[in-house]
């Protein structure tokens, strides 16, 4: 049974995009933090890493949106009878 008005596959794709965005942000911030501690440049590389991670996450989401649009695969409404898309 799908949760809400969309199918399980749509929920998986949305969750995957969110996870990829979060991982990019965490990695960028972590690398910036590590470099700050190594080179003593606190907080500048941490900030740069966070911005770079955000930019990479945004790139991943926009690339996925472009791919979805190119394949013309819109989100599917779940079937009202059994909740499956």
Task: Give the model confidence (pLDDT) of 8-61 as tens digits.
Answer: 877 888 899 999 999 999 999 999 999 999 999 999 999 999 999 999 999 999
Report the alpha-carbon distance of residue 19 to residue 34 in Å, rounded.
22
Please calculate the CA angle 32-38-44 and round it to the nearest 5 degrees: 40
d(CA 67, CA 76): 16
pTM, two decimals, is: 0.76
């Amino acid at each position: 049974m799908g949760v809400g008005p969309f199918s399980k596959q749509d929920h998986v794709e949305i969750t995957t995009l969110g996870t990829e965005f979060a991982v990019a942000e965490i990695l960028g911030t972590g690398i910036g933090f590590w470099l700050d501690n190594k080179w003593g440049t606190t907080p500048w590389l941490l900030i740069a890493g966070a911005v770079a991670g955000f930019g990479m996450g945004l790139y991943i989401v926009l690339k996925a949106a472009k791919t979805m649009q190119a394949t013309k695969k819109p989100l599917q409404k779940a079937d009202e009878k059994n909740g499956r898309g």
